Structure 1
Protein backbone atom coordinates (compact mmCIF):
# COMPACT_ATOMS: atom_id res chain seq x y z
CA UNK A 1 0.00 0.00 0.00
CA UNK A 2 1.51 3.34 -1.04
CA UNK A 3 0.42 6.65 0.41
CA UNK A 4 1.61 10.09 -0.68
CA UNK A 5 0.59 13.23 1.12
CA UNK A 6 2.06 16.45 2.51
CA UNK A 7 2.04 16.40 6.29
CA UNK A 8 3.55 19.78 7.19
CA UNK A 9 2.96 23.15 5.60
CA UNK A 10 5.86 25.49 4.94
CA UNK A 11 7.70 27.37 2.27
CA UNK A 12 9.07 25.44 -0.66
CA UNK A 13 12.65 24.33 -0.22
CA UNK A 14 15.35 23.83 -2.82
CA UNK A 15 17.41 20.71 -3.28
CA UNK A 16 20.48 20.21 -1.10
CA UNK A 17 23.80 21.49 -2.42
CA UNK A 18 26.04 19.42 -4.69
CA UNK A 19 26.91 15.96 -3.43
CA UNK A 20 29.66 16.15 -0.82
CA UNK A 21 30.48 14.83 2.59
CA UNK A 22 28.82 16.93 5.30
CA UNK A 23 30.80 19.61 7.11
CA UNK A 24 31.37 19.52 10.84
CA UNK A 25 28.10 19.09 12.70
CA UNK A 26 26.54 21.64 14.99
CA UNK A 27 23.49 19.98 16.53
CA UNK A 28 22.48 23.28 18.18
CA UNK A 29 22.06 25.01 14.79
CA UNK A 30 18.74 24.48 13.07
CA UNK A 31 18.04 25.33 9.42
CA UNK A 32 15.90 28.35 8.55
CA UNK A 33 12.42 28.02 7.08
CA UNK A 34 10.30 24.95 7.59
CA UNK A 35 11.05 21.33 6.82
CA UNK A 36 8.29 19.16 5.38
CA UNK A 37 7.66 15.44 5.67
CA UNK A 38 5.94 13.33 3.00
CA UNK A 39 4.83 9.77 3.68
CA UNK A 40 5.61 7.85 0.49
CA UNK A 41 5.11 4.31 1.78
CA UNK A 42 3.18 2.58 4.57
CA UNK A 43 3.22 -1.14 5.25
CA UNK A 44 2.49 -3.37 8.20
CA UNK A 45 -0.21 -4.84 10.40
CA UNK A 46 0.32 -2.13 13.02
CA UNK A 47 -0.58 0.78 10.73
CA UNK A 48 -3.53 -0.01 8.45
CA UNK A 49 -4.43 2.67 5.93
CA UNK A 50 -5.38 5.94 7.57
CA UNK A 51 -4.16 5.02 11.07
CA UNK A 52 -0.69 6.62 11.07
CA UNK A 53 0.05 10.33 10.68
CA UNK A 54 3.28 12.31 10.62
CA UNK A 55 4.00 15.97 11.39
CA UNK A 56 7.17 18.06 11.54
CA UNK A 57 7.80 20.32 14.53
CA UNK A 58 7.59 24.04 13.73
CA UNK A 59 11.08 24.63 15.18
CA UNK A 60 12.72 21.92 13.00
CA UNK A 61 13.90 19.95 16.03
CA UNK A 62 11.89 16.77 15.40
CA UNK A 63 8.97 15.06 13.75
CA UNK A 64 6.23 12.96 15.33
CA UNK A 65 4.41 9.81 14.27
CA UNK A 66 0.97 9.18 15.76
CA UNK A 67 -0.75 5.79 15.52
CA UNK A 68 -4.41 5.07 16.20
CA UNK A 69 -4.61 1.29 15.68
CA UNK A 70 -1.24 -0.17 16.69
CA UNK A 71 -1.85 -2.94 19.23
CA UNK A 72 -0.39 -6.40 19.84
CA UNK A 73 -2.03 -8.86 22.20
CA UNK A 74 -1.86 -12.42 23.49
CA UNK A 75 -4.14 -14.59 25.57
CA UNK A 76 -7.92 -14.77 25.71
CA UNK A 77 -9.60 -14.03 22.38
CA UNK A 78 -6.33 -13.47 20.49
CA UNK A 79 -5.50 -15.05 17.15
CA UNK A 80 -2.19 -16.69 16.38
CA UNK A 81 -0.86 -13.55 14.66
CA UNK A 82 -2.06 -10.92 17.13
CA UNK A 83 1.05 -11.25 19.30
CA UNK A 84 3.17 -9.35 16.75
CA UNK A 85 2.37 -6.08 14.97
CA UNK A 86 4.73 -3.97 12.90
CA UNK A 87 4.80 -0.78 10.87
CA UNK A 88 7.21 0.31 8.14
CA UNK A 89 7.12 3.95 7.04
CA UNK A 90 9.06 5.44 4.11
CA UNK A 91 9.44 9.19 4.61
CA UNK A 92 10.74 11.96 2.36
CA UNK A 93 12.08 14.75 4.55
CA UNK A 94 12.65 17.97 2.62
CA UNK A 95 15.17 20.31 4.25
CA UNK A 96 16.42 23.80 3.38
CA UNK A 97 19.31 24.11 0.96
CA UNK A 98 22.73 23.56 2.47
CA UNK A 99 21.67 21.39 5.42
CA UNK A 100 21.47 17.70 6.16
CA UNK A 101 20.23 15.70 9.14
CA UNK A 102 20.53 12.53 11.19
CA UNK A 103 18.21 10.97 13.77
CA UNK A 104 19.81 11.62 17.14
CA UNK A 105 17.12 10.20 19.42
CA UNK A 106 13.79 8.42 19.14
CA UNK A 107 11.18 8.41 21.91
CA UNK A 108 8.54 5.68 21.77
CA UNK A 109 5.41 5.78 23.91
CA UNK A 110 2.32 3.71 24.46
CA UNK A 111 0.15 1.81 26.93
CA UNK A 112 0.55 -1.76 28.14
CA UNK A 113 -1.59 -4.14 30.16
CA UNK A 114 0.48 -7.24 30.92
CA UNK A 115 -0.64 -10.05 33.18
CA UNK A 116 1.73 -11.55 35.73
CA UNK A 117 4.08 -13.84 33.82
CA UNK A 118 3.49 -12.12 30.46
CA UNK A 119 5.85 -9.65 28.80
CA UNK A 120 5.89 -7.23 25.90
CA UNK A 121 8.61 -5.86 23.64
CA UNK A 122 9.03 -2.72 21.55
CA UNK A 123 11.59 -2.98 18.73
CA UNK A 124 12.72 -0.37 16.23
CA UNK A 125 15.31 0.72 13.70
CA UNK A 126 15.62 3.39 11.01
CA UNK A 127 17.91 3.98 8.04
CA UNK A 128 18.28 5.93 4.82
CA UNK A 129 17.35 4.32 1.53
CA UNK A 130 20.35 2.50 0.05
CA UNK A 131 22.39 2.70 3.25
CA UNK A 132 23.08 0.15 5.98
CA UNK A 133 20.34 -0.35 8.55
CA UNK A 134 20.89 0.73 12.11
CA UNK A 135 20.92 -1.99 14.73
CA UNK A 136 17.45 -2.99 15.84
CA UNK A 137 16.91 -1.98 19.45
CA UNK A 138 14.55 -3.77 21.83
CA UNK A 139 12.90 -2.73 25.08
CA UNK A 140 11.08 -5.24 27.28
CA UNK A 141 8.29 -4.70 29.80
CA UNK A 142 7.36 -7.45 32.24
CA UNK A 143 3.99 -8.14 33.86
CA UNK A 144 2.23 -7.42 36.03
CA UNK A 145 2.10 -4.01 34.37
CA UNK A 146 -0.82 -1.74 33.51
CA UNK A 147 0.29 1.79 32.68
CA UNK A 148 1.76 4.07 30.02
CA UNK A 149 5.22 2.99 28.89
CA UNK A 150 8.08 4.92 27.32
CA UNK A 151 11.37 3.88 25.72
CA UNK A 152 14.12 5.98 24.14
CA UNK A 153 16.96 5.17 21.75
CA UNK A 154 19.80 7.69 21.63
CA UNK A 155 22.73 7.57 19.21
CA UNK A 156 26.19 8.76 20.25
CA UNK A 157 27.45 11.69 18.23
CA UNK A 158 30.28 9.67 16.70
CA UNK A 159 27.78 7.09 15.45
CA UNK A 160 25.26 9.46 13.87
CA UNK A 161 24.45 8.63 10.23
CA UNK A 162 23.61 11.73 8.19
CA UNK A 163 21.71 11.82 4.93
CA UNK A 164 24.17 12.47 2.07
CA UNK A 165 24.38 16.10 0.99
CA UNK A 166 22.94 16.71 -2.44
CA UNK A 167 20.76 13.58 -2.43
CA UNK A 168 17.16 13.04 -1.47
CA UNK A 169 16.78 9.60 0.07
CA UNK A 170 13.82 8.13 1.91
CA UNK A 171 14.15 7.69 5.63
CA UNK A 172 12.80 4.23 6.49
CA UNK A 173 11.32 3.92 9.98
CA UNK A 174 10.52 0.42 11.24
CA UNK A 175 8.78 -0.38 14.53
CA UNK A 176 7.41 -3.57 16.04
CA UNK A 177 5.39 -4.61 19.09
CA UNK A 178 5.33 -8.14 20.50
CA UNK A 179 3.39 -9.61 23.43
CA UNK A 180 4.14 -13.05 24.85
CA UNK A 181 1.82 -14.80 27.33
CA UNK A 182 4.75 -16.46 29.09
CA UNK A 183 3.54 -18.19 32.22
CA UNK A 184 0.31 -16.16 32.50
CA UNK A 185 -3.09 -17.85 32.39
CA UNK A 186 -4.27 -18.64 28.83
CA UNK A 187 -7.66 -17.20 29.82
CA UNK A 188 -6.18 -13.78 30.62
CA UNK A 189 -5.48 -11.04 28.06
CA UNK A 190 -2.26 -9.05 27.76
CA UNK A 191 -1.72 -6.25 25.24
CA UNK A 192 0.66 -3.46 24.29
CA UNK A 193 -0.11 -0.44 22.11
CA UNK A 194 2.01 2.20 20.40
CA UNK A 195 -0.04 5.16 21.60
CA UNK A 196 -1.74 5.97 24.88
CA UNK A 197 -5.18 5.64 26.44
CA UNK A 198 -5.91 9.34 25.84
CA UNK A 199 -4.15 9.68 22.48
CA UNK A 200 -2.08 12.62 23.69
CA UNK A 201 1.39 11.19 23.06
CA UNK A 202 3.26 10.29 19.90
CA UNK A 203 6.50 8.72 18.81
CA UNK A 204 9.06 11.51 18.44
CA UNK A 205 12.19 11.43 16.26
CA UNK A 206 14.73 14.15 17.14
CA UNK A 207 17.02 15.64 14.49
CA UNK A 208 20.72 16.43 14.59
CA UNK A 209 21.61 19.01 11.93
CA UNK A 210 24.79 20.02 10.12
CA UNK A 211 25.62 22.33 7.27
CA UNK A 212 26.89 20.93 4.00
CA UNK A 213 30.22 22.30 2.75
CA UNK A 214 30.40 24.97 0.08
CA UNK A 215 27.32 26.84 1.29
Structure 2
Protein backbone atom coordinates (compact mmCIF):
# COMPACT_ATOMS: atom_id res chain seq x y z
CA UNK A 1 0.00 0.00 0.00
CA UNK A 2 2.76 2.45 0.93
CA UNK A 3 4.74 1.69 -2.23
CA UNK A 4 1.64 2.13 -4.42
CA UNK A 5 0.96 5.51 -2.84
CA UNK A 6 4.57 6.56 -3.33
CA UNK A 7 4.44 5.62 -7.00
CA UNK A 8 1.24 7.59 -7.46
CA UNK A 9 2.88 10.60 -5.86
CA UNK A 10 5.92 10.40 -8.14
CA UNK A 11 8.21 9.09 -5.42
CA UNK A 12 10.49 6.14 -6.16
CA UNK A 13 11.82 3.62 -3.68
CA UNK A 14 15.54 4.10 -3.36
CA UNK A 15 18.62 2.27 -4.51
CA UNK A 16 21.25 2.00 -1.80
CA UNK A 17 24.98 1.64 -1.80
CA UNK A 18 27.32 1.29 1.14
CA UNK A 19 30.69 2.95 1.69
CA UNK A 20 32.16 2.44 5.13
CA UNK A 21 34.42 5.14 6.47
CA UNK A 22 37.89 4.34 7.76
CA UNK A 23 41.49 4.06 6.72
CA UNK A 24 42.50 3.27 3.18
CA UNK A 25 41.13 4.32 -0.18
CA UNK A 26 37.57 5.54 -0.29
CA UNK A 27 34.98 3.42 -2.06
CA UNK A 28 33.68 5.20 -5.21
CA UNK A 29 30.13 6.46 -4.81
CA UNK A 30 27.66 4.90 -7.27
CA UNK A 31 26.03 7.80 -9.18
CA UNK A 32 22.52 6.33 -8.95
CA UNK A 33 22.49 5.19 -5.34
CA UNK A 34 22.16 6.61 -1.86
CA UNK A 35 25.39 5.85 -0.01
CA UNK A 36 25.80 5.71 3.75
CA UNK A 37 29.34 7.06 4.05
CA UNK A 38 29.78 6.59 7.79
CA UNK A 39 27.90 5.71 10.95
CA UNK A 40 28.58 6.79 14.52
CA UNK A 41 26.70 5.07 17.37
CA UNK A 42 26.51 6.43 20.90
CA UNK A 43 24.41 5.54 23.91
CA UNK A 44 23.88 3.13 26.76
CA UNK A 45 22.00 0.75 24.47
CA UNK A 46 24.73 0.52 21.85
CA UNK A 47 28.18 0.52 23.49
CA UNK A 48 31.10 0.63 21.10
CA UNK A 49 31.16 -2.39 18.83
CA UNK A 50 27.57 -3.50 19.50
CA UNK A 51 25.71 -1.76 16.63
CA UNK A 52 26.22 -2.38 12.92
CA UNK A 53 24.58 -0.99 9.75
CA UNK A 54 23.98 -2.94 6.53
CA UNK A 55 22.18 -2.16 3.27
CA UNK A 56 19.52 -4.54 1.90
CA UNK A 57 20.37 -6.46 -1.32
CA UNK A 58 17.51 -4.80 -3.23
CA UNK A 59 18.52 -1.34 -2.04
CA UNK A 60 15.14 -0.48 -0.53
CA UNK A 61 16.26 -0.33 3.10
CA UNK A 62 19.12 -0.33 5.52
CA UNK A 63 19.18 -2.11 8.86
CA UNK A 64 20.80 -1.53 12.21
CA UNK A 65 21.71 -4.63 14.19
CA UNK A 66 22.14 -4.42 17.97
CA UNK A 67 23.75 -7.05 20.19
CA UNK A 68 23.55 -5.44 23.65
CA UNK A 69 20.40 -3.32 23.83
CA UNK A 70 18.34 -4.17 26.95
CA UNK A 71 16.40 -2.15 29.55
CA UNK A 72 15.67 -4.00 32.80
CA UNK A 73 14.27 -3.61 36.32
CA UNK A 74 14.22 -6.01 39.26
CA UNK A 75 16.67 -7.68 41.66
CA UNK A 76 20.28 -6.89 40.82
CA UNK A 77 19.37 -4.10 38.38
CA UNK A 78 20.78 -0.61 38.80
CA UNK A 79 18.44 2.41 38.46
CA UNK A 80 20.15 3.34 35.17
CA UNK A 81 19.32 -0.10 33.74
CA UNK A 82 15.63 0.83 33.44
CA UNK A 83 16.29 3.10 30.44
CA UNK A 84 18.61 2.53 27.50
CA UNK A 85 19.06 4.57 24.34
CA UNK A 86 21.06 4.61 21.15
CA UNK A 87 21.74 7.56 18.87
CA UNK A 88 22.98 6.85 15.34
CA UNK A 89 24.50 9.60 13.20
CA UNK A 90 24.58 8.54 9.55
CA UNK A 91 26.38 10.57 6.88
CA UNK A 92 24.21 10.00 3.81
CA UNK A 93 25.20 10.79 0.21
CA UNK A 94 22.32 11.29 -2.24
CA UNK A 95 22.63 11.25 -6.07
CA UNK A 96 22.52 14.69 -7.70
CA UNK A 97 19.04 16.07 -8.30
CA UNK A 98 17.41 13.71 -5.80
CA UNK A 99 16.41 13.78 -2.15
CA UNK A 100 15.19 11.11 0.26
CA UNK A 101 12.79 10.53 3.15
CA UNK A 102 12.16 7.78 5.68
CA UNK A 103 8.94 5.97 4.68
CA UNK A 104 8.64 3.41 7.45
CA UNK A 105 10.61 1.88 10.29
CA UNK A 106 10.34 -1.58 11.77
CA UNK A 107 11.67 -2.56 15.18
CA UNK A 108 11.98 -6.09 16.57
CA UNK A 109 12.90 -7.44 19.97
CA UNK A 110 12.08 -9.67 22.91
CA UNK A 111 10.38 -8.77 26.19
CA UNK A 112 9.52 -10.32 29.53
CA UNK A 113 7.28 -7.99 31.55
CA UNK A 114 5.86 -9.14 34.88
CA UNK A 115 2.18 -8.45 35.69
CA UNK A 116 1.90 -4.81 36.76
CA UNK A 117 5.06 -3.71 34.93
CA UNK A 118 5.19 -1.87 31.60
CA UNK A 119 7.62 -1.15 28.80
CA UNK A 120 8.03 1.67 26.31
CA UNK A 121 9.81 1.82 22.98
CA UNK A 122 10.41 5.25 21.45
CA UNK A 123 12.00 6.18 18.15
CA UNK A 124 12.74 9.48 16.47
CA UNK A 125 14.71 10.57 13.46
CA UNK A 126 16.00 13.94 12.40
CA UNK A 127 17.00 14.92 8.89
CA UNK A 128 19.38 17.85 8.98
CA UNK A 129 17.40 21.02 8.26
CA UNK A 130 14.03 19.56 9.32
CA UNK A 131 12.17 19.00 12.57
CA UNK A 132 12.46 15.62 14.29
CA UNK A 133 9.71 13.03 13.96
CA UNK A 134 8.99 10.62 16.82
CA UNK A 135 6.78 7.63 17.67
CA UNK A 136 6.04 5.82 20.94
CA UNK A 137 4.82 2.25 21.57
CA UNK A 138 3.75 0.89 24.96
CA UNK A 139 3.78 -2.70 26.22
CA UNK A 140 1.65 -3.94 29.14
CA UNK A 141 2.90 -6.36 31.80
CA UNK A 142 2.04 -10.02 31.90
CA UNK A 143 3.76 -10.58 28.56
CA UNK A 144 6.74 -12.67 27.50
CA UNK A 145 7.73 -13.10 23.88
CA UNK A 146 8.86 -11.45 20.65
CA UNK A 147 7.59 -7.99 19.79
CA UNK A 148 7.53 -5.91 16.63
CA UNK A 149 6.47 -2.33 15.98
CA UNK A 150 6.10 -0.54 12.64
CA UNK A 151 5.84 3.22 12.12
CA UNK A 152 4.58 4.31 8.69
CA UNK A 153 4.67 7.90 7.48
CA UNK A 154 1.76 8.97 5.21
CA UNK A 155 2.91 10.15 1.77
CA UNK A 156 1.63 13.68 2.43
CA UNK A 157 3.66 13.83 5.66
CA UNK A 158 7.01 12.57 4.32
CA UNK A 159 9.90 14.73 5.48
CA UNK A 160 12.53 14.93 2.74
CA UNK A 161 16.13 15.96 3.21
CA UNK A 162 17.07 19.40 1.84
CA UNK A 163 18.00 19.37 -1.84
CA UNK A 164 21.46 20.26 -3.06
CA UNK A 165 23.41 19.42 0.08
CA UNK A 166 24.78 16.48 2.04
CA UNK A 167 22.41 15.81 4.94
CA UNK A 168 23.13 13.71 7.99
CA UNK A 169 20.40 11.46 9.37
CA UNK A 170 20.17 11.19 13.15
CA UNK A 171 18.20 8.24 14.55
CA UNK A 172 17.50 7.99 18.26
CA UNK A 173 15.83 4.98 19.84
CA UNK A 174 14.94 4.38 23.48
CA UNK A 175 13.77 1.44 25.60
CA UNK A 176 12.33 1.95 29.08
CA UNK A 177 10.84 -0.41 31.68
CA UNK A 178 8.71 0.66 34.67
CA UNK A 179 8.16 -1.86 37.49
CA UNK A 180 4.76 -0.31 38.28
CA UNK A 181 2.82 -2.53 40.67
CA UNK A 182 4.77 -5.70 39.88
CA UNK A 183 6.22 -7.82 42.68
CA UNK A 184 9.46 -6.40 44.18
CA UNK A 185 11.11 -9.71 43.43
CA UNK A 186 10.10 -9.78 39.77
CA UNK A 187 12.49 -9.05 36.91
CA UNK A 188 11.15 -7.31 33.80
CA UNK A 189 13.05 -6.41 30.65
CA UNK A 190 12.55 -5.05 27.15
CA UNK A 191 15.22 -5.48 24.54
CA UNK A 192 16.10 -5.03 20.91
CA UNK A 193 17.67 -8.45 21.19
CA UNK A 194 17.08 -12.12 20.41
CA UNK A 195 18.31 -15.55 21.43
CA UNK A 196 21.37 -15.26 19.19
CA UNK A 197 22.16 -11.76 20.44
CA UNK A 198 21.18 -9.80 17.34
CA UNK A 199 18.07 -8.23 15.93
CA UNK A 200 17.59 -5.89 13.02
CA UNK A 201 15.84 -2.57 12.98
CA UNK A 202 14.88 -1.80 9.38
CA UNK A 203 14.38 1.65 7.84
CA UNK A 204 12.65 1.95 4.45
CA UNK A 205 13.31 5.06 2.38
CA UNK A 206 11.99 6.82 -0.70
CA UNK A 207 13.64 9.04 -3.32
CA UNK A 208 12.16 11.91 -5.30
CA UNK A 209 13.48 14.48 -7.78
CA UNK A 210 14.35 17.91 -6.48
CA UNK A 211 12.23 20.74 -7.86
Aligned to 1:63: 62
Give 1:137-152 correspondences, 5 Å limit: 137-152=135-150
CA 1:195–1:25 in 2, change beyond 3 Å: closer, same or farther? farther
- Structure 1 residue 58 displacement after superposition: 2.7
TM-score of the aligned structures, taking structure 2 as reference length: 0.83
Answer 1 or 2: which has greater helix percent. Answer: 2
Alignment partner of 1:26 is 2:35: no
CA 1:186–1:87 in 2, change beyond 3 Å: closer, same or farther? same
- Structure 1 residue 92 displacement after superposition: 1.2
TM-score of the aligned structures, taking structure 1 as reference length: 0.81
RMSD: 1.9
CA 1:51–1:29 in 2, change beyond 3 Å: closer, same or farther? closer
Deviations 1:146-204 (A, max 9, x none): 11100111111111011112110110000000001111111111001113223564100
Deviations 1:52-80 (A, max 9, x none): 00112232211100000000001111101
Among candidates 152, 158, 161, match of residue 160 of structure 1: 158
- Structure 1 residue 211 displacement after superposition: 1.8
122-131 vs 91-100, which deviates more?
A: 91-100
Aligned to 2:86: 87
CA distance in 2, matches of 1:189, 1:38: 40
Among candidates 170, 173, 187, match of residue 171 of structure 2: 173
Deviations 1:67-101 (A, max 9, x none): 00000001111101100000111101223333211
SS in 2 for 1:81: helix
Aligned to 2:22: none
How many correspondences in the alignment? 189
CA 1:70–1:39 in 2, change beyond 3 Å: closer, same or farther? farther
- Structure 1 residue 29 displacement after superposition: 4.8
Alpha-carbon contact 1:37-1:55 (below 8 Å) kept:
no
CA distance in 2, matches of 1:40, 1:66: 12
Answer 1 or 2: which has greater strand percent. Answer: 2
